[in-house]
Structure 1
Amino acid sequence: MARNEPLTVQLPGTQTRSFCYVSDMLINPEVKISMVENTPDDPRQRKPDITKAKELLGWEPKVKLRDGLPLMEEDFRLRLGVPRKN
């Protein structure tokens, strides 16, 4: 995505992935999505080890899950035109 390549989503698209808020990823929100067949070694559930990113790049996420989920919800509501329930 950083090179403006399509975001690959493996079918069926129901696998779990790790959450990282968009400001920590610096991605292009207009990226195209490419659906591809799943590979046999694709894990159904993920929890990555970011030790090397911390050690070699000095990178770690800044937005906590608790803070990022409401921001993500609001963004989706705005994009889809769905009002917040009171």
Structure 2
Amino acid sequence: MMPLVTNKAKGDTFYVESECRTIKGNQYVSSVEVVTHKEAPHQIRAHLALAGCPLIGDPKYNNSSPRPPSQDIRNALNRETTRSCCK
């Protein structure tokens, strides 16, 4: 679990917890399902990176990806995300 927002002036810290399940994968990449328990889906990127499993092509949290993914990869990831979110 990691802080979502910290307001030091008020002493408030909000936490977000994520559950992650591997659907399929190999030693290089995995398809995962991630569920957050609060309305903070943008934290999925941070949580996966913190766990050592950053998203492919993520410019903010994936420092090991020296170049952006191809358009085909971005399109495939977008289709999968859309399908998962809109069931």
TM-score (norm 2): 0.26
Q: Which has the higher contact order (CA 8 A, sep 6+)?
A: 1
Higher strand content, 1 or 2: 2
Higher helix content, 1 or 2: 1
